């Protein structure tokens, strides 16, 4: 679901859209990791994430939302992302692929 206009930090446009993004893990402290996120829509931000005790669920804190992810294998992470702001609502699902 997408509102009529993009929010300050979101890169979703129209009713359905897609992005190509790059996430680079820059630091790790135990189960807490920091990463830099960039996309083909010009979105660049630093995110923090934590891996739950089950070693497969990952919670992110982004600039405008909270992605919840499940580690499917060494190469794939399933991502559900959502946020609601005063002028923007987004929910999206996708797959992150590990690329060396």
Q: Tens of pLDDT along 18-73? A: 777 787 888 888 888 888 878 776 667 777 888 889 989 988 877 777 788 899 99
How far apart are alpha carbons 79 and 24 in whole angstroms? Answer: 16
Picking from 2, 5, 11, the residue whose alpha carbon sits closest to that of residue 63 is 11
Q: Tens of pLDDT along 74-100? A: 888 898 888 777 777 777 788 888 776
pLDDT score, position 4:
54
* pTM of the predicted structure, to 2 decimals: 0.65
Give the chain's length.
Answer: 100
Confidence of residue 17 (pLDDT cuts 50, 70, 90): low
Do residues 34 and 46 make contact, with C-beta atoms less than 8 angstroms apart? yes
């Amino acid at each position: 679901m997408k509102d009529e206009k993009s929010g300050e930090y979101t890169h979703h446009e129209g009713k359905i859209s897609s992005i190509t993004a790059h996430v680079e893990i820059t630091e790790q402290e135990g189960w807490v990791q920091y990463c830099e996120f960039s996309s083909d829509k010009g979105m660049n931000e630093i995110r923090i994430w934590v891996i739950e005790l089950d070693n497969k669920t990952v919670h992110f804190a982004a600039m405008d939302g909270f992605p919840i992810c499940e580690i499917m294998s060494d190469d794939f992470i399933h991502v559900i992302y959502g946020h609601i702001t005063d002028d923007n609502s987004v929910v999206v699902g996708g797959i992150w692929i590990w690329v060396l």
